[in-house]
Amino acid sequence: MSPSSVRALALVLAVTTLAGCGASAGKSNEISLTLTRDFGADDVVTLPREPVPADGELAAILRPFGNPRGAQSLFVNGILVDKPVSGLEVHGGDRVWLDQHPAGVARKIPAVVGAFPEPFLHGVDGERLPVRVECDDPRAGACAAVADKLVALGVVAGRSIISRSAADMTVRVLVAPWKRLRGREFEVDRIDAGPRQSGVFARFDASAQRLLVLDAAGNVARTLGAGTGLIAATRAARRQPVWFVTGTDVAGVDAAARALDESVLADRFALAISGDLPVAVPQP
């Protein structure tokens, strides 16, 4: 980031701080703000504790940063913002993330995993949402691991077997090998259809035994085999995000469950795991 951008950001944040002095103290009075480029590959600025901006001030905070990449996506708690920034209201605890990237095959990227543990902690529009962990095998270790991680974060999460859901306001986490998910969920079908539909730059092959990791143009950049995991999220219109802790097989699902951690997922649009090592999705 250029020195002039740093000075501009500092000035705007100083004004924002003064404007927010009358608000109540504590963590409910703060947000985190992240600016990245190239689908999270380049961290431009991270501001973990900033006063909640008044209406319209978020646009002023972001204005000093020109967009050299041509396209950009703005997420609050990992969910794509579908309104002008000038009219966006954010709340205490929210994670605001702007990524500037080249225009790719996906016109919209409706949800990402790189704001974890959001949206599970603070939800949408200042309100927590119901959370449910759905597993192909509720007795499996990965199912328990995912549920336990959420509970440890203070998230009240129900647990059940996977069933096609019409629960529009519930954030769902589906834990199972992809072959056990395929054909059972609308959001699964979107990921199988590719990034134009889901915003996820990875898809499983016809056998579900290989994960094809794509670049921003939708081309296959890497093919990963047995033991591969995937953590991804997408969102259908008028529904809340569906997260996937999945893989080519049980070992892959276990690897994905182990990677469900803020330090691993930070600034990732989605994440593949191969040999217990992270693989960026999309690939550069």
Task: For 80-102, write each residue's pLDDT tens digit.
Answer: 998 888 889 999 999 999 999 99
Report d(CA 194, CA 197) in Å as an integer: 6
Consecutive 10-residue runs of the chain (284 residues): their mean pLDDT?
A: 40 35 50 97 93 88 90 97 89 96 93 98 94 94 97 94 78 97 93 97 98 97 98 94 98 98 97 97 96
Q: Where exactly are the structural domains of the chain?
A: 3-101, 131-281
* Integer Cα distance of 30 and 222 in angstroms: 39
Say how far apart CA 15 and CA 104 lie, in whole Å. 36
Q: Token digits for 163?
A: 């069933």
Q: CA 198: distance to chain centroid?
A: 13
Q: What pLDDT is stored for residue 1 in this prediction? A: 45
Backbone angles phi, psi at 61, to 5 degrees: -65, -40
Burial of residue 26 (CB within 10 Å: 0-12, 13-18, 19+) is exposed
| Residue tagged 């143009």 (tokens) | 217
Location of structure tokens 């944040």: 13
Instruction: Please check whether residue 20 is in contact with residue 91, taking contact to mean a CB–CB distance below 8 angstroms.
Output: no
Residues in contact with 11: Cβ distance below 8 Å, sequence separation at least 6, in sequence order: none
Q: Tell me, what DSSP letter sits at residue 200? A: -
How big, in percent rounded to 5, are the helix, strand and coil portions of the chain? Answer: 25, 30, 45
Options 2.40.160, 1.10.10, 2.170.130, 2.60.40; which CATH number does 3-101 get?
Answer: 2.170.130
The CATH code of the domain at 131-281 is 3.30.379
Give the closest residue to 71 by CA, choosing from 37, 111, 96, 113. Answer: 37
Specify the pTM: 0.89
What tokens appear for 218 in the block? 């939708």
One-letter amino acid of 126: G
159-182 per-position pLDDT tens digit: 999 987 666 789 999 999 999 999
The sheet with strand 79-80 has its strands ordered as 42-51, 30-37, 95-101, 71-76, 79-80
The answer to whether 125 and 118 are in contact (CB under 8 A) is no
Give, in order, the Cα–Cα distances in Å from 80 to each of 85, 111, 118, 152. Answer: 11, 6, 13, 26
Contact 162, 156 (CB under 8 A): no
Contact (Cβ atoms closer than 8 angstroms) between residue 75 and residue 85: no
Residue 200 has a pLDDT of 98
Segment 143-164, tens digit of pLDDT = 999 999 999 999 999 999 998 7
